[in-house]
Amino acid sequence: MTHVAVVVPLKRFDLAKERLRRAGIEQVTTLARELATAVIEHCAPRHVIIASESQEVSDFAHSLGVEVFESEARDLNDAVQRAYESLGERFEQLIIIHGDLKHPRGLGDFQPGAGVTIVTDHHQRGTNVLALPTGLSFRFSYGPDSRHRHELEADRLGVPCLVLTDSPWAFDVDDPSDLESPS
């Protein structure tokens, strides 16, 4: 069994970043692909697995030489849950990383704690990176205030939880203001 793998859940690039699209930002599909590429490349030398329901994303992942976990997931939480449950047979720990981090440098060197490690977004409410051992009955709960729900889940399971609020990975791209910010 390999110790650690990175899971990057990705939806179709032409559907990603809905808030940017609604704001009239151009080239969102290209931006989503570029952000995902940078995240994947900066996860080296770790084993990377893309979780997706899209053939386009699967082809993209294969072109970068990474594994794909395909499922008929309903949403982000379902995709991550399915990957976590399936990959637990192969890996002792998974690091789930969003594919839209603005500054992904150093992801491949990340050494999470033994329990649950949460890297928050810059508002300290979301979960941009979540590392945890496999084999837990952990329930993923991404969305608004996910940091708090993931902390509660670790507590429910009696697993130590470390929260990192000052990481460069706290900056993801969701809103137009995220594109303007120098951070």
Residue 123 lies in a domain: yes
Residue 55, domain member (yes or no): yes
Domain with 47 in it: what CATH number? 3.90.550.10
In a domain, 134, yes or no: yes
98: domain range? 2-178
**CA-CA distance, 157 to 134, in Å (whole number)?**
13
Look up residue 47 and give its two tokens.
Answer: 């084993």
Report yes or no on 183 lying in a domain.
no
Question: By CB neighbour count within 10 A (0-12 exposed, 13-18 middle, 19+ buried), where does 86 fall?
Answer: middle
Q: Are 46 and 57 in contact (CB under 8 A)?
A: no
pTM: 0.94
pLDDT along the chain (183 residues), means of 10: 86 87 88 96 96 92 95 89 95 97 96 94 95 97 95 98 95 86 58
45 part of a folded domain: yes
- pLDDT tens-digit series, residues 57-106: 999 999 999 999 998 888 889 999 999 999 999 999 999 999 999 999 99
Q: Say what the pLDDT of residue 183 is.
A: 56
Residue 1 confidence (pLDDT): 40
Question: What pLDDT does 125 receive?
Answer: 94
Q: Is residue 30 part of a domain?
A: yes
The token pair at 133 is 């051992």
Number of structural domains (the chain) is 1
